[in-house]
Amino acid sequence: MDLRQFDQNLWLVLDALYKTHSVSDAAERLSLSQSAMSHALKRLRVAFNDPLFVRNNGKMRPTKKASEIRPLAQQAIELLTQLANGLDTFDVNTSQRQFVIAATDFTISLFVYPLLSKLAQSGSNIRIKVIDLTAEIPAFDLSSNHIDLVLTFSHEQTIATKLHAQQLFKGNYRVIARCNHPCISSTLTLATYLKAKHVLISPWGGEQGSLDRELRKRGLSRHIAAVLPQLMHVVELVSHSNLIATVPAASLSQQACNDVMILEPPLSLPDYKLFMVWHPSFNLDQGLIWLRSELESIAAQILEGNSY
């Protein structure tokens, strides 16, 4: 294939056919007429000297050669996207761009609120749209540019994904129980901890957490009496019940904790880690470079002021 005569837009055609298995759907995806898409496919077939896609059971299936080309096509699209994004200028003082961030209530409180406060004080016209993080890593929404950035957490050292991830912050846990709890005093033993009824914070609906995995290693378990999707209401719940909760220490600085005791866990727990995640196609996007830098600065301020 002679790259000098190869239209780079054909990589987008190839990618759309991979994703849709349909000439008409691929045409709609790229806002092309069906005849234009058919012509583009013909050019691809000539360029690669292969049919590339053949109809089977009503769908356009990739040939062996097309399957071999796919990783290279994805790399080409990512590179072209990076180059295009890198050419765009970004001025925080004049931009009216909207950034879409997917986050949990904890990471919203920790990172997004300070960011919004800073933007409001500076008089910026930048808009931040926050949506619920419905999965640990919404890879498709990042790759399709429906989401600019994800703020998520993990107990691993890195995020196991082809996306780019940067650790912003790591921290430890504290146990909270209401003041004058009938079974818990200022010193929490493992036996008392296991006997208590617990609240589990589970943004994605899991019925056990990292703590339960640590307990299983010791042949132990706890009684989970409630599973909640949001962290930032747990202090209020605990303060009005005999339930206890094991929560990120940094979350307690974001809530009124006058009616609860804050205790050391009675067993060693791995640190939680907060990450920001983005698609590598947007590494050179000047706006996202600015956004990531702002979040890094906020993380540094959190580390400096962390009192737990």
- Of the pLDDT bands very low, low, confident and very high (cuts 50, 70, 90), residue 195 is very high
**149 and 289 share a domain?**
yes
- Among 28-32, 88-92, 181-185, 299-303, the range scoring the smallest mean pLDDT is 88-92
**141 and 77 share a domain?**
no
Q: Which of 266, 264, 269 is nearest to 252 (CA)?
A: 264
Helix/strand/coil (H, E, C) string of 145-183? CCCCEEEEEECCCCCCCCCEEEEEEEECEEEEEECCCCC
**Does residue 92 fall inside a structural domain?**
no
**18 and 55 share a domain?**
yes
> Is the pLDDT assigned to residue 5 strictly greater than 60?
no
In three-state secondary structure terms, 114 is: helix
**56 and 71 share a domain?**
yes
- Of the pLDDT bands very low, low, confident and very high (cuts 50, 70, 90), residue 214 is confident
> Is the pLDDT assigned to residue 6 strictly greater than 90?
no
**219 and 250 share a domain?**
yes
Which uninterrupted H or E stretch holds 292?
helix 286-305
214-247: burial string, b at 16+ Cβ within 10 Å, e else: bbeeeeeebebeeeeeebbebbeebbeeebbbbb
Query: Rounded mean pLDDT of 166-192?
Result: 93
> Which one has a higher pLDDT value, 140 or 188?
188
User: Total domain count for the chain?
Assistant: 3
Percent of the chain with pLDDT over 90: 53
- For 49-97, what is each residue's pLDDT tens digit? 999 999 988 899 999 998 988 888 887 777 777 666 555 678 888 899 9
> Is the pLDDT assigned to residue 187 strictly greater than 90?
no
**182 and 218 share a domain?**
yes
CATH number of the domain to which 13 belongs: 1.10.10.10
Reported as half-sphere exposure (CB side, CA atoms, 13 A), residue 267 has a value of 19
**Does residue 25 fall inside a structural domain?**
yes
Query: Which residues, in sequence order, are bridge partners of residue 129?
Result: 100
> Is the pLDDT assigned to residue 149 strictly greater than 50?
yes
**33 and 79 share a domain?**
yes
Tell me, what's the pLDDT at 307? Answer: 45
Q: Which of 60, 79, 68 is nearest to 19 (CA)?
A: 60
**73 and 137 share a domain?**
no
**Does residue 52 fall inside a structural domain?**
yes
Tell me, what's the pLDDT at 281? Answer: 79
How do 272-278 and 149-154 pair as beta strands? antiparallel
- For 249-307, what is each residue's pLDDT tens digit? 999 987 778 899 999 999 988 899 999 999 887 887 889 999 999 999 999 988 877 64
Tell me, what's the pLDDT at 305? Answer: 72
Compute the chain's Rg from CA coordinates: 25
**Does residue 245 fall inside a structural domain?**
yes
**Does residue 93 fall inside a structural domain?**
no
Q: Round the average pLDDT of the chain to a whole number and report it.
A: 88
**112 and 190 share a domain?**
no
**215 and 149 share a domain?**
no
Tell me, what's the pLDDT at 150? Answer: 96
**160 and 291 share a domain?**
yes
> Is the pLDDT assigned to residue 176 strictly greater than 80?
yes
- Of the pLDDT bands very low, low, confident and very high (cuts 50, 70, 90), residue 157 is low
> Is the pLDDT assigned to residue 155 strictly greater than 80?
no
- For 223-233, what is each residue's pLDDT tens digit? 999 999 999 88
> Which one has a higher pLDDT value, 5 or 96?
96
- Among 35-44, 88-97, 141-150, 180-189, the range scoring the smallest mean pLDDT is 88-97
